[in-house]
Amino acid sequence: MGKQKQQVISRFFAPKLKPSPPPNQESSTPPPKISATVSFSPSKRKLLSDHLAAASPKKPKPSQNPTPKPDPNLHRSFLQRFLEPPPEEESLPVTTSIKYTPLEQQVVELKRKHPDVILMVEVGYRYRFFGEDAEIAARVLGIYAHMDHSFMTASVPTFRLNVHVRRLVNAGYKVGVVKQTETAAIKSHGANRAGPFFRGLSGLYTKATLEAAEDISGGCVGEEGFGGQSNFLVCVVDERVDRESNKGCGLEASFDVRVGVVGVEISTGEVVHGEFNDNFMRSGLEAVVLSLSPAELLLGQPLSQQTEKFLLGYAGPTSNVRVERAALDRFRNGSAVDEIVSIYEDLSARNIEGDKENKAEAAEDKISCLTVHTIMNMPHLTVKALALTLRHLKQFGFERILFEGASIRSLSSTTEMTLSANTLQQLEVIRNNSDGSESGSLFHNMNQTLTVYGSRLLRHWVTHPLCDRNLISARLDAVSEIVACMGSPSSSQVSDELGEESSERKIIPPEFYHVLSSVLTALSRSPDIQRGITRIFHRTAKATEFIAVIEAILLAGKQLQRLGIKQDCETRSMQTATVRSSLLRKLISVVSSPAVVDNAAKLLSALNKEGAARGDLLDILITSSNQFPELAEARQALLAVREKLDSLIVSYRKKLANRNLEFLEVSGITHLIEVPVDAKVPINWVKVNSTKKTIRYHPPEIVSGLDELALATEHLAIVNRASWDSFLKSFARYYTDFEAAVQALAALDCLHSLATLSRNKNYICPLFVDDSEPVEINIQSGRHPVLETILQDNFVPNDTSLHAEREYCQIITGPNMGGKSCYIRQVALISIMAQVGSFVPASFAKLHVLDGVFTRMGATDSIQHGRSTFLEELSEASHIIRTCSSRSLVIIDELGRGTSTHDGVAIAYATLQHLLVEKRCLVLFVTHYPEIAELSNSFPVSAGTYHVSYLTSQKDNGGSDHNDVTYLYKLVRGLCNRSFGFKVAQLAQIPPSCIHRAITMAANLEAEVRARERNTVSSIKHLMESPGEPKAHDEPPESRTEESMSVLGDLFADLRCALSEDDPSKSFKLLKDAWKIAEDLVAR
């Protein structure tokens, strides 16, 4: 027994280092190359150095000096090789010269099959890493890696599997868990009794599949970066667009690729797909990626260089977004459709074969969210992306979600507005621009949800505002009703006063808000039921998770049934209805429908809650009512074996003449017979253990009986697992109803969140004009929703009035840091909030439904994509010009500042003029160029000049002290010619000497420009006094040449044409040419 204990202890303590072998015992095989990337303490570093020296296969050279001097270069080289990251090479090389242990041989074979996977191999009570996997695990997990036999190895305890897998996956790795495929009882009766345990890959995990996987997810919301956020797997394919075929298509010819995208959220069953043309900057793809925020990217090769460059830039080293490539060669000539149809047919055949009881029903229905007809209607690039996605998910076992349980939607929708990537970033809709977190964003400000699935849905609402007036009104009506109920007292009890006045007691129906808040509060303490039902659909849920999820849905449905709203609610009078909003009634009826409540109760009736709570996996399913007959037989067989063992005690009582003899259980060993030390027992009894006074035995019948009991227990576990899988598989027929119920609960949570937001922050309900009326934005006392939260009562509100038939463009000037950008952002955010269905921060808001909100703000570049600051500006302006319509809101902040002044003014002027003349959209244009503000003179009705007000102190000489500026942040009419840049320089703490020098230079430059302008204007006036042929007394001096006369003729010709030209753009060009001629004459 002592030797057995020593073997157990040796598994937890490393053996002592053996001394160096003598020279005549040189190892025949060199050890593998050792490299590590973890940091060691000096003592551990020395220990490893000694170990390496001891294991060195090289024969030391004989030396006459008994104490050789250390070589510093050799030591430095060793440290450099030891501490630097290892070169890319095969982590587990297979060579015939190395003799592996049986466990190492299993690892080598598994690694050959899964070379791109970090394997965690179950060995006893630990999961071990080998080779390069051990080095990665040591670096990411902060654990110790050491040399063991042929490979570097590291290990973690089995009960920490959940945590360590999540950390590795969150770092962007693909992790596989290898478990034993046989138990000790099966192994002892099989042909492999003398060999190692059989092992196989039991789970494969990445960021996109982790929340739906078995053994890892469930009850871990918010740990290691996971939880409420979505984890999309996005597959991207593209192909070049033939520019020759696009000639004559106008602006569409600027597209150079066509992109196909499929995004799958495996843990929630959400699938998005789309195909679109995109330009060189990949602005369309950028909008999709920012909206979905994928955790994994699947790139269909070959991919265009610009597309791959953008995607790899998004999945940079700081993002932890995993990238995997897949070849598209096998999907040529329509084979992508064949691949999808083949997978679909295999799944259908397996479903029909597995569900023997409902084979006829399954054959008749074959209900699928993704049928062959749907596939044939998809564009060919989308089909290729879908085939790649299915092939990728097949290795995880999650391909079924696309056919039977997915909620499929297109990227483009007629009822939703798709915000561009610029709008999402520059308005800070989802994340702020300072550190990239959600704090300080519009979504963070609006998010008052109580559940994680409600938060995910609200995120989609915020990034995809509605474009349908009826849908917006339905949400606003629902929010208004919840807000109205918030202030009323609860009336969910019986009115005693009415009972006293009348012989009949009148039951007042429970108040809607009281029921809704109690339901959402209870759900906030429940697990993520949206991911829970999807895990049940994937058959990866545990019994405790199943019970918690279904009980939460059942409780919510029963509580909402108290409101008395049924699906045929239209037959009831709205006067007596407890809830009047049609949207609220529809959502409540879906959650409280009999199909959901009855099916939830039916599913729970088949489970033993006490057994699940105890963790007894063999006592989870209830076998009554002819359910699970095979499981009932296995339980009866196990019970019979136990009864047979227990009945043997009678014969042993007679043998030992002890009427009080009973079986004893010690340390998990059952059916022990304990007798005194001096008692005589049959010689064939097996001694198990003993104490000082007693000895415990197993008779031969007990040994064989326990062996039979172990086999019966193993058989019961296998049958129980099969029955549990069959039970989870039967959930698929209810999945659609439960998914709709969870979506309805998420929508109720979002509406409750919007109502809470409006009550807490004193927002008002916006009014939307009819679609046939002119486009307008009329906001009184509008406030920035995020800055108002920070500044509280110190925020200065502003009014906005834009009308398609009156003034629809505001040209805004004013000092730096005066509030111009804040003002235009607040108008855009209020418009987005209103179309989300939220109340807005204003005293009054009358809006038209917009089809898009476009922004061009800030000065950023993208070095990794090869984009300069000015290219970014013009790309955003180009996207706006091509995409906006007369029902769009466009906000542009300081366009043209990324290049020279003349070029910037010209581009900004031409862009604004195009928006005013061609697009006629609502425009807020911020600029520091006075020349652009003069455009309002050409469009006195459509465009108006505004500035943010300020105050300056007066100097003694009557001028203004521009160093003393007070910003009022109020928008008023008029032009502001000063930007007060030196005030900002002072705030930035630029040295005073630099500021004084800059003020002097600015004064000199202004004086020079004004003198030049006066000379030019006077010269033009003198030349324009005689518009006809020159008279005799007006003849020029004799020094004037014929060339000067020709130049004057050109000048007058340009002026005449400019005055007679109807096209403003051509007139402006002619005036510009005349101006250049006049400048040339003045210079002469």
297 and 367 assigned to the same domain:
yes
Residue 10 above 90 pLDDT? no
pLDDT at position 18 is: 46
Same domain, 815 and 953: yes
What pLDDT does residue 1017 have?
Answer: 59
pLDDT over threshold 90, residue 888: yes
C-alpha–C-alpha distance, residues 586 and 563, integer Å: 12
788-824 per-position pLDDT tens digit: 988 888 899 999 999 999 999 999 988 888 888 999 9
Q: For residue 957, name the pLDDT band (cuts at 50, 70, 90).
A: low
- Residue 575 shares a structural domain with residue 475: yes
Strands, sheet with 233-240, edge to edge from the N-terminal-most edge strand: 322-327, 296-301, 233-240, 257-265, 270-278, 407-410
Residues 942 and 1045 in one domain: no
The count of other CB atoms within 10 Å of the CB of residue 780 is: 15
Is 965 found in the same domain as 879?
Answer: yes
- Integer Cα distance of 1072 and 1058 in angstroms: 10
Q: Which of 348, 380, 412 is the last residue of a domain?
A: 412
- What is the C-alpha to C-alpha distance for residues 88 and 135, in angstroms, rounded to an integer? 12
Helices 735-761 and 512-524 sit at what angle, rounded to 10 degrees?
A: 110
Domain membership of residue 897 (yes or no) is yes
Same domain, residue pair 560 and 662: no
- Output the pLDDT for position 1: 42
Is there a domain that residue 888 lies in?
Answer: yes
CATH at residue 671: 1.10.1420.10
Residues 710, 741, single domain; the answer is no
In a domain, 911, yes or no: yes
- How do beta strands 146-148 and 151-157 pair? antiparallel
Could you list the residue range(s) of the whole structural domain that residue 171 is in? 33-56+77-205
Q: Which long-range contacts (CB under 8 A, 24 or more apart) does 646-653 make?
A: 648/699, 648/701, 648/702, 648/705, 652/699
Among the ranges given (119-128, 541-550, 717-726, 1040-1049), the one the predictor scored with the smallest mean pLDDT: 1040-1049
Provide the percentage of residues in the chain whose pLDDT is more than 70.
75
| Interatomic CA distance for residues 418 and 888, integer angstroms | 12
Which residues on neighbouring strands pair with residue 926, listed in sequence order?
Answer: 812, 893
Ramachandran assignment for 974, one of left (phi > 0), alpha (psi -120 to 50 degrees), beta (any other): left
Residue-wise pLDDT for 506-528, tens only, equals 444 458 889 999 999 999 998 89
DSSP 8-state assignment for residue 560: H
CB 217: neighbour CB atoms within 10 A? 26
Q: How confident is the model at residue 103 (pLDDT cuts 50, 70, 90)?
A: confident
Taking 70 as the threshold, does the pLDDT of residue 1062 lie above it?
A: no
Mean per-residue pLDDT, 1043-1057:
67
150-172: average pLDDT: 91
Q: Cα 708 vs. chain centroid, distance in angstroms?
A: 52
* pLDDT above 70 for 990: yes
> What is the average pLDDT across 55-74?
50
Residue 56, helix vs strand vs coil? coil
- Please report the pLDDT score of residue 17 as a whole number: 45
Q: What mean pLDDT, rounded, does the chain reach?
A: 79
Q: Is residue 783 part of a domain?
A: no
Two tokens, residue 78: 């060793």
Q: Is residue 763 part of a domain?
A: no
**Segment 88-96 mean pLDDT:** 48
* CA-derived radius of gyration, the chain: 39
Output DSSP code: residue 202: E
For residue 833, the one-letter residue type is M
According to the model, what pLDDT value does residue 1048 have?
67
Instruction: For residue 13, give both structure tokens.
Output: 């303590």
CATH number at residue 915: 3.40.50.300
Q: Looking at residue 94, which CATH number applies to its domain?
A: 3.40.1170.10
Which phi and psi angles does 1017 have, rounded to 5°?
Answer: -65, -45
- Same domain, yes or no: 263 and 126: no
Is 1035's pLDDT higher than 60?
A: no
Count of structural domains within the chain = 6
For the stretch 389-399, pLDDT in tens is: 988 988 888 88
**634 lies in the same domain as 518:** no
Examine residue 155 and state whether it is found in any structural domain, yes or no.
yes
The rounded distance, in Å, linking the Cα atoms of 1080 and 1074 is: 10
Element (H, E) at 687: strand 686-690
Cα–Cα distance, 214 to 651 (Å, whole number):
48
- 191 pLDDT band, cuts 50/70/90, is low
Amino acid at residue number 904: G
Report yes or no on 679 lying in a domain. Answer: yes
Whether the per-residue pLDDT at 947 is higher than 70: the answer is yes
pLDDT of 505 reads 36
For 284, other C-beta atoms within 10 Å of its C-beta total: 23
The pLDDT tens digits for 526-563 are 889 999 998 898 888 888 899 999 999 999 999 999 88
Q: What is the pLDDT of residue 128?
A: 94
H/E element, 811: strand 809-813
Instruction: Give the confidence band of 680 by pLDDT, cuts at 50, 70, 90.
Output: confident
Beta bridge partners of 892: 856, 925
Same domain assignment for residues 258 and 165: no
Angle at 151 between CA 146 and CA 152, to 5 degrees: 25
**Sheet containing strand 686-690, strands side by side:** 664-666, 669-676, 694-698, 686-690
What's the rounded Cα separation, in Å, for the pair 11 and 5? Answer: 10
Tens of pLDDT, residue by residue over 281-301, are 788 888 888 888 898 999 998
Pairwise CA distance, residues 653 & 657, whole Å = 6
727 CB contacts (<8 Å, ≥6 apart)? 606, 621, 628
> Residue 295, exposed/middle/buried by CB under 10 A (0-12, 13-18, 19+)?
buried
Residues 6+ apart with CB under 8 A from 539: 725, 728, 729
Is residue 359 one of the residues assigned to a domain? yes
675 forms bridges with which residues in the sheet? 695
Q: What is each CA distance from 595 to 29, 566, 603, 736, in whole angstroms?
A: 69, 12, 12, 11
Gap between the Cα atoms of 812 and 970, Å rounded: 12
> Rounded to whole angstroms, how far apart are CA atoms 91 and 37?
14
If asked whether residues 906 and 980 sit together in one domain, one would say yes
Do 552 and 613 lie in one domain? The reply is yes
